[in-house]
Each structure stands twice: as C-alpha cells, then as structure tokens.
Amino acid sequence: MAVAVIDIGTNTTRLLVAEIEDGQVVELERRTAITRLGQGVDSSGRLAQEAMDRVAEAIAVYREVIDRLGAERVVALATSAMRDAENGAEFRDFLKGRFGIEARTITGDEEARLTFLGATGARNDDHESVVIDIGGGSTEYVVGRPSHDPEFHVSTQMGSVRHTERFLHSDPPKNQELEQLAVAVGETVPDVSVEQGIAVAGTATSLAAIDGAEELHGYRMNLATCERLVAMLAGMPLDERRRVKGLHPDRAPTIVAGAVILTESMRALGLAEIEVSVADILHGAALSAAA
C-alpha cells in the first residue's frame, strides 16, 4: 500500500511517499522545503500571507509527486504554527479547495505519539528511550520503550523559530542572549529518567551533517560535540552560517536556537550522547495510516 504524508510544520513542509510492507516503511520519495510558516506567529498570532504562499508553492509540487507515484492514501498533518494561529482554519480550507488535500491539525499529544512510533518502530531494543523532536514552534519529548505505547509525552512551546524570535536578537547572538535561551530551555525540559536519547527532525540531522556524518540515520553525537557546534555556529554572523558545509542555507537563521535546545535537553536529561534518526512523524503517520 502506497501512502503519502505531508507534514506542514512551523519551519518546513515535508513529503514522504512510501510503501508499507510488513509493518516497515519503504521510502519511494522524500522531500523537504523550508517554508517558515511560523514566521511571526509567536508575536502576531496569525499566519503571514507570504508564509502561506510558500507552503502553497511547496504543496503544489508535492501534489504532482503524489499523483505521479499513485499514492492510495494522502495524510496531511498541521502542527504547531497552524495550531496556534488565529487564521489556521482559513488556511486549511484554502489547501483543501486548491489541492484537494485536507490538512488535519493534530494536538501536541498526537504529534508526540506519531513521532515516537516513527522513530522507534524499526528498533528491536528494550531500553527506556526519549525521542526529542525539535520543531520550529514546539519541541516534543516522548518517553517509552520501542514497540510499546509511550509512557510519557509532553509538547512544549519551545522551538527553533519561536526561540530565535524570543531570545536571539543580535547577529551573531550575544553571550547574554545565549545564556538566557539556555536557562529557558533547561527550565522547560521535563524531569524524566531515560537510558538513551533519539533526536529527530531538522536540527538534529543538520548538526550531524555539519559534524561530517556520511550517514545521518543512526549517527551519534556526544554532549561535547553538541557544545562545540553551538559555540561554532553562535560565533558566526548569519551570512557566514549560510555557507557552513552540511547546513541548508535556509536553516541558518534558526539553527543556533535549535542547537541550544538539543544541547540543553541532553544536559537536563543526563544524556552523554544522542542518536540521530531520520525516521520521525512522517514514518509514524504512514504506519498509522496503513494500519
């Protein structure tokens, strides 16, 4: 069964088209566009027109891909930015009318469940794990054992876009801004006991790529490496960050906040290292749809 999943996030709009075979996700095509739907939502409470236009442009391309690959089911998920915006429902109606794609605004709890399913569905260990999903507008922490339902999950109002707008006003960021951001993250991370950590989404994969990972999935970074990457990226002006090898130029404005969120999460959770996973909410939603 071919399933297409579109994830309309705060910073990116992503597509996965996959075959589901014996409970495994076999990717046919995967695409990412940095659309910054959450631009200004934290301060204005509304989706900006130019941000909605960027998402619409991405979904126009994705609609063609979905039709070409003949996906039998199409699932579209809208997360933090559309949840929080006053005009989120209007934008969902527009997407349905133009593309025939009905975006479902999911709760933070549902986002956490699907992310955990995607990140742990193919694992065969039994370690108490935390999946950390750093998005543009929210960060989810989901705790449990692979092949089981999550035991604990929380969706926080903390994200790479949101916290860039809240804390990082200088270019490059000032030490005081970074310190205030780190304190805010440390106060937000849940107090849970875990054996291992799995990080999904663009911040984690970008840091792995910057660190020179040849294969992103399963790449491990220790706390010292993450601290080094934060110091390196925060010490650069934006134009220089855009040229960093392994970092998509459109992620440069928000990567520092994302990297601080990941690093301070590891510190608060007592994790000496983190494993990067490219299996995330897209995989979880595909498995759920096929089931």
Domain residue limits at 80 = 2-105
Question: Does residue 289 fall inside a structural domain?
Answer: no
**Predicted pLDDT at 227:** 98
What are the angstrom distances between the C-alpha of 274 and each of 125, 200, 217, 226, 236?
A: 16, 10, 12, 9, 24
Domain shared by 253 and 134, yes or no: yes
**Predicted pLDDT at 138:** 87
SS (H, E, C) 212-258: CCCCCCCCEEEHHHHHHHHHHHHCCCHHHHCCCCCCCHHHCCCHHHH
- Say how far residue 174 (Cα) sits from the centre of its chain: 26
Domain shared by 98 and 168, yes or no: no
Question: Does residue 287 fall inside a structural domain?
Answer: no
Question: Does residue 261 fall inside a structural domain?
Answer: yes
Question: Does residue 286 fall inside a structural domain?
Answer: no
| CATH code of the domain containing 17 | 3.30.420.40
**Predicted pLDDT at 26:** 93
Domain shared by 131 and 93, yes or no: no
**Predicted pLDDT at 262:** 98
Domain boundary among 54, 74, 105: 105
Cα–Cα distance for residue pair 28/170, rounded to 1 Å? 42
Closest CA to 182 of 227, 137, 141: 227
Domain boundary among 50, 75, 105: 105
| CATH code of the domain containing 261 | 3.30.420.150
**Predicted pLDDT at 42:** 81
Amino acid residing at 87: N
**Predicted pLDDT at 149:** 82
Domain shared by 129 and 273, yes or no: yes
The domain tally of the chain equals 2
**Predicted pLDDT at 273:** 97
Domain shared by 40 and 175, yes or no: no
Domain shared by 85 and 138, yes or no: no
Domain shared by 78 and 7, yes or no: yes
Provide the 10 A C-beta neighbour count for residue 204.
Answer: 28
Domain shared by 14 and 90, yes or no: yes
**Predicted pLDDT at 133:** 93
Question: Does residue 119 fall inside a structural domain?
Answer: no
Low-confidence ranges of the chain (pLDDT < 50): none
Question: Does residue 64 fall inside a structural domain?
Answer: yes
Q: Name the packing angle between helices 255-269 and 175-188 (round to 10°).
A: 50
Domain shared by 131 and 96, yes or no: no
Domain shared by 247 and 130, yes or no: yes
